[in-house]
Amino acid sequence: MSLAGPETCVSFIYEISCFELLTPEEKELVDSRSVLVNYKKGENICKQGSFASHIMYLEKGLVKIFLEGNPKDLILSVTPHKNLMGLQALYEGNNTFLYSISTYTESVVRLIDIQIFKQLLKQNPLFAFRIINILNESTSQSYGRFFSLTHKQLHGRLADILLCLSRKIFKAETFDLPISRSDLSDLTSMSTESVIRIMKDFKDDGIIDINNKTITLVDVPRLDRISAKG
Amino acid sequence: MSLAGPETCVSFIYEISCFELLTPEEKELVDSRSVLVNYKKGENICKQGSFASHIMYLEKGLVKIFLEGNPKDLILSVTPHKNLMGLQALYEGNNTFLYSISTYTESVVRLIDIQIFKQLLKQNPLFAFRIINILNESTSQSYGRFFSLTHKQLHGRLADILLCLSRKIFKAETFDLPISRSDLSDLTSMSTESVIRIMKDFKDDGIIDINNKTITLVDVPRLDRISAKG
DNA sequence: ATAAAAACATGATGCAAATCATAATATAAT
DNA sequence: ATTATATTATGATTTGCATCATGTTTTTAT
- Position B100 scores a pLDDT of 96
Which pLDDT tens digit goes with each residue over A2-46? 554 546 777 655 567 899 999 999 999 999 999 999 999 999 999
- Partner residue facing A140 (CB), from B94, B118, B136: B94
- Position A230 scores a pLDDT of 87
**How many residue pairs from chains A and B have C-beta atoms closer than 8 A?**
133
Task: Average the pLDDT over B119-140 and give the result.
Answer: 94
Chain C positions under 7 Å from a protein CB?
7-12, 16-21, 26-27
Does the nearest atom of strand C lie within 7 Å of A197's Cβ? Answer: yes
Phi and psi for A171 in degrees, rounded to 5?
Answer: 50, 45
Which residues in chain A have Cβ-Cβ distances shorter than 8 Å to B94?
A: 136, 140
Task: Average the pLDDT over B69-86 and give the result.
Answer: 94
CATH C-level class of B5-145:
mainly beta
B215/C24 CA-to-C1' distance in Å: 21
Nearest to A147 by CA among B93, B98, B9: B98
CA dihedral A37, A39, A43, A45 (to 10 degrees): 30
Domain boundaries, chain A: 7-145, 152-229
Which residues in chain B have Cβ-Cβ distances shorter than 8 Å to A68?
A: 2
Task: Average the pLDDT over B52-78 and give the result.
Answer: 95
Which pLDDT tens digit goes with each residue over B188-226? 999 999 999 999 999 999 999 999 899 999 999 999 999
- Partner residue facing B122 (CB), from A2, A126, A147: A126
Would you say A10 and A68 are in contact if contact means Cβ atoms under 8 Å apart?
Answer: no
Q: Could you tell me the pLDDT band of residue B11, with boundaries at 50, 70 and 90?
A: low
Which pLDDT tens digit goes with each residue over A181-222? 999 999 999 999 999 999 999 999 999 999 989 999 999 999
Mean pLDDT of chain A: 93
A195/C11 CA-to-C1' distance in Å: 16
Query: Does A69 sit within 8 Å of B1, measured CB to CB?
Result: yes
Would you say B115 and B192 are in contact if contact means Cβ atoms under 8 Å apart?
Answer: no
- Find the chain A residues whose C-beta atoms sit closer than 8 A to any C-beta of B: 1-3, 67-70, 72, 74, 76, 87-88, 90-92, 94, 98-99, 118, 121-126, 128-129, 131-133, 135-140, 142-143, 145-147, 149-151, 189
Which residues in chain B have Cβ-Cβ distances shorter than 8 Å to A129?
A: 118, 121-122, 128
CA dist B162 → A147, B45, B190, B198 (Å) = 21, 25, 14, 12
- In this predicted structure, the answer to whether residue B66 has a pLDDT above a threshold of 50 is yes
The answer to whether domain B152-229 has CATH 3.30.300.30 is no
CA distance B64 to A104: 38
Which residues in chain B have Cβ-Cβ distances shorter than 8 Å to A147?
A: 67, 69, 74
Question: Residues near chain D (nucleic strand), Cβ < 7 A?
Answer: A 153-155, 189-191, 193-194, 212-213; B 180-182, 192-193, 196-197, 199-200, 210
Q: Tell me, what amino acid is at B150?
A: T
CA distance A173 to A162: 10
Among chain A residues, the shortest Cα distance to B74 is held by A147
- Position A15 scores a pLDDT of 65
CA dist A83 → A13, A39, A41, A168 (Å) = 7, 16, 18, 13
> 0.85 cut: is pTM over it?
yes
Q: Could you tell me the pLDDT band of residue B6, with boundaries at 50, 70 and 90?
A: very low
Mean pLDDT of chain B: 92
b/e A190-229 (16+ beta carbons within 10 angstroms → b): beeebbeebbeebeeeebbeeeeeebebbebebbeebbbe
Task: Find the DSSP H helices in chain A.
Answer: 24-32, 114-123, 125-151, 154-164, 181-188, 192-204, 220-229
Q: Is A31 helix (H, G, I), strand (E, B) or coil?
A: helix
B176/C28 CA-to-C1' distance in Å: 20
Q: Could you tell me the pLDDT band of residue A166, with boundaries at 50, 70 and 90?
A: very high
Give the CA radius of gyration of chain A.
Answer: 18
Does the nearest atom of strand C lie within 7 Å of A205's Cβ? Answer: no
Would you say A16 and A87 are in contact if contact means Cβ atoms under 8 Å apart?
Answer: no
A169/C1 CA-to-C1' distance in Å: 39
Sheet with A62-67: list strands edge to edge.
A44-46, A100-103, A62-67, A74-80
Task: Average the pLDDT over A80-96 and give the result.
Answer: 90
Which pLDDT tens digit goes with each residue over B82-112? 999 999 999 877 789 999 999 999 999 999 9
Which residues in chain B have Cβ-Cβ distances shorter than 8 Å to A99?
A: 143
Phi and psi for A120 in degrees, rounded to 5?
Answer: -60, -40
Which pLDDT tens digit goes with each residue over A135-148? 999 999 999 999 99
B133/D22 CA-to-C1' distance in Å: 52
- Position B1 scores a pLDDT of 65
CA dist A63 → A44, A66, A133, B74, B176 (Å) = 9, 10, 22, 29, 45
Query: Does A72 sit within 8 Å of B136, measured CB to CB?
Result: no
- Position A9 scores a pLDDT of 72
Share of chain B above pLDDT 70, in %: 95
For residue B71, what are the contacts with CB-CB under 8 A and spacing of at least 6?
none
Q: Could you tell me the pLDDT band of residue A157, with boundaries at 50, 70 and 90?
A: very high
Would you say A218 and A227 are in contact if contact means Cβ atoms under 8 Å apart?
Answer: no
Report the sign of the C-alpha dihedral through residues B217, B219, B225, B226, in that order: negative
CA distance A209 to A148: 23
For residue A197, what are the contacts with CB-CB under 8 A and spacing of at least 6?
none
The answer to whether domain A7-145 has CATH 3.40.50.150 is no
